[in-house]
Structure formats: structure tokens, C-alpha cells
């Protein structure tokens, strides 16, 4: 298989979230450091994504991969979802696939990150694609004037995002899909152009030590079990190779700077 090359500069994608409450609909309660509203309720959310009746579908009007919004009933625990129909293939020079959205969510679970919203495969009106939890009440960096959050409170989240994007070859971050909420927590969205067989990584200076420990422990068997339904062998091989290149860079940084300045806990 030819290497699939992803383009564009890597930016941050995030959205702050909150606790999943017992209220009729999932909503954003401002709770610092909590990952996603779905955490602890993954099975319920996944089942609703798969089985809820779709009452209408509308164009969103943004995004190069043309996502749509589907409204569902019942509207508990949520009333709408992101609908992406992108059969695996190359379009305009980019590798794209709705399956990459699902693979990102499954890998997030495997790494215990809880940063990628639930995504499942389903068919709607004769089309098969990714049904992804729609998150309410957030604005993008573009909508906020283009300023990406900075400062110590974002350090851990930024490191985890960079590591995850390196692992999955996600180069398609832009101001339109950087969604900002309460400092210190983030949700990573829009992965339909990820998991190319590009083996290059973006340079970095620090990593989240706990997440790196989990990444190092990933085996081919782990990846096959979690991602084999969504990715081919070449894509999984590329994940392992990128992880190996990350390890080599971390070893180099530790030798030059000391572990305490590179592996941040």
C-alpha cells in the first residue's frame, strides 16, 4: 500500500467538558479537569449512537469533510450526533475515512485518555458512516478570534494531545476545530484524516509520563484487537513505527536534558 500523506500544520483541537449528570440530557457542567460528559457512561452513549431513531439530518456548513448533524429520539441522554459518511479513500490528495473517527475513539479508550468523544459505525438512510457524540455549548478558536490557549494550566492537556496526534498521524488540526472550554480539560475531535501510513512524527520537547507509559505498553495484539476492524495492517504497522520513533526522540531528549525535564508527571 502506498503511503498516505496527510497535510497541513498540526494545531490543537479541544473542547472542555464536564460531568455526565442524571439530568434528562447530557450537558456541559463546568468542572475543571473532568474529561468528557460520556465518561462512565460509554456503553449508554454508544448504544444511543447506534440505535436512536433519526428524525432529521441537516448540513452543518463547516468542515472540509462535510460532516452533518443528525437529530435523534428519544433525546436522552443526548438529542443529536455528528454524522460522517466518508468511505475509505483519497480525496483531493488526502486520505480520509469515517473508520478513522471510530479508531481514534477506540484507541483513546485503550490508552485510558477519555479525551475523544464516542464514535460508532451505523447506517442512516442507506449510508454507512461514523455517528459521533454531538457536544453542545462550545466555540472554536476561529470563533474566539484565533487565539489558542496557552499557559501552565494547559500544559498537560497539550502534551497529551501532541502525543496522541503523533501516534495516529493526525496532521489536520486547524482553528475551526479547536473548541475551547474551561481550562485544563480538553476533548480531541475530527480524526477522519488520521491513521495514514505516514511514519513521520512532529518534534516535541516534553511528554506526559503516565500516557507515555501506556503507549509504550501497547502491543500489536492490543492494537489488532481494538483497531483491526477499522484499520488495515499497514496502518497498524505505521502506529507501531511512529511509537518507536517517539521513543527514540524521547531517549535523545532525556540524554540531553535529563528525564525530569522531559517526562512530566
Q: What are the extents of the domains in the chain?
A: 42-264
Residue 66, pLDDT score: 82
Q: Are 58 and 69 in contact (CB under 8 A)?
A: yes
The residues that bridge with 133 in the sheet, in sequence order, are 81
At the top level of CATH, which class does the domain 42-264 belong to?
Answer: mainly alpha
pLDDT at 139: 67
Rg, the chain, Cα only: 18
Digit-coded pLDDT (tens) for 114-147: 989 999 999 999 999 999 999 887 766 677 788 7
Q: 191: helix, coil or strand?
A: coil
Q: What is the mean pLDDT of residues 177-194?
A: 80
Bridge partners (DSSP) of residue 251 are: none
pLDDT in tens, 242-260: 999 999 999 999 999 999 9
Is residue 24 scored above 70 in pLDDT?
no
Among 14, 29, 261, which Cα is nearest to 162's? 14
Beta strands in the chain (DSSP E): 53-59, 68-73, 80-84, 89-91, 94-96, 119-124, 127-133, 139-140, 179-180, 207-208, 263-264
User: Does the global pTM surpass 0.95?
Assistant: no
| pLDDT confidence of residue 17 | 32
Highest-confidence segment of 25-34, 57-66, 130-139: 130-139
User: What mean pLDDT value characterizes the chain?
Assistant: 84
Amino acid at each position: 500500500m502506498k503511503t498516505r500523506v496527510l497535510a497541513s500544520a498540526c494545531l490543537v483541537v479541544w473542547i472542555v467538558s464536564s460531568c455526565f449528570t442524571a439530568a434528562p440530557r447530557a450537558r456541559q457542567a463546568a468542572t475543571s479537569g473532568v474529561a468528557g460528559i460520556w465518561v462512565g457512561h460509554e456503553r449508554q452513549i454508544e448504544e444511543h449512537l447506534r440505535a436512536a431513531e433519526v428524525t432529521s439530518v441537516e448540513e452543518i456548513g463547516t468542515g472540509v469533510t462535510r460532516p452533518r448533524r443528525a437529530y435523534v429520539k428519544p433525546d436522552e441522554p443526548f438529542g443529536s450526533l455528528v454524522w460522517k459518511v466518508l468511505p475509505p479513500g483519497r480525496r483531493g490528495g488526502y486520505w480520509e475515512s469515517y473508520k478513522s473517527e471510530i479508531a481514534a475513539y477506540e484507541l483513546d479508550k485503550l490508552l485510558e485518555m477519555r479525551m475523544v468523544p464516542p464514535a460508532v459505525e451505523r447506517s442512516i438512510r442507506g449510508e454507512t458512516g461514523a455517528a459521533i457524540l454531538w457536544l453542545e455549548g462550545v466555540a472554536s478558536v476561529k470563533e474566539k478570534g484565533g487565539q489558542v490557549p496557552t499557559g501552565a494550566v494547559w500544559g498537560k492537556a497539550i502534551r497529551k494531545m501532541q502525543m496522541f496526534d503523533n501516534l495516529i498521524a493526525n496532521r489536520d488540526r486547524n482553528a475551526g476545530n479547536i473548541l475551547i472550554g474551561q481550562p485544563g480539560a480538553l476533548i480531541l475531535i475530527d480524526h477522519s484524516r488520521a491513521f495514514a501510513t505516514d511514519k513521520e512524527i512532529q518534534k516535541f520537547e516534553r511528554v506526559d509520563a503516565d500516557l507515555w507509559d501506556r503507549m509504550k505498553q501497547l502491543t500489536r495484539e492490543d492494537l489488532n484487537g481494538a483497531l483491526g476492524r477499522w484499520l488495515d495492517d499497514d496502518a497498524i504497522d505505521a502506529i507501531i513505527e511512529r511509537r518507536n520513533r517517539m521513543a527514540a526522540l524521547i531517549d535523545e531528549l532525556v540524554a540531553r536534558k535529563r528525564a525530569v525535564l522531559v517526562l512530566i508527571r
